[in-house]
Amino acid sequence: HTAERRGAAPVRVAFGVSRRNFKLAVQRNKIKRRMREAWRLHKHELYENLNAMEGQMALMIIYTGNEEKGFAEIEKSVKRAIRKLPELWLANS
């Protein structure tokens, strides 16, 4: 993650899945769709914290597993990351 102080959006986010672990684009795209949906559902928690701190962030979420997980497990991981990010941001500011 990179903390920035310019621009309009509080968070710019990108998602990545390794081609080495998932040969088929269909698999990679399905995982990225699940990550994007989990992000969409829970990003407001991070936005509230960043707005309170008047900060902005560029973030890349990379799927590191080598087997496809269901939405519930991906969502749990994304929520955990969203909760940890404000602490990391403050520690690095």
Q: pTM of the predicted model, to two decimals?
A: 0.83
Contact 43, 11 (CB under 8 A): yes
Among residues 90, 91, 3, 21, the alpha carbon closest in space to that of 62 is found at: 21
Q: 74 lies in which domain range?
A: 2-92
- Per-residue pLDDT reduced to its tens digit, 24-79: 999 999 999 999 999 999 999 888 877 777 777 889 999 999 999 999 999 999 99
Split into its structural domains, the chain has a count of 1
- Per-residue pLDDT reduced to its tens digit, 18-31: 999 999 999 999 99
Alpha-carbon separation of residue 75 from 24, 46, 80, 85 (angstroms): 22, 15, 9, 15
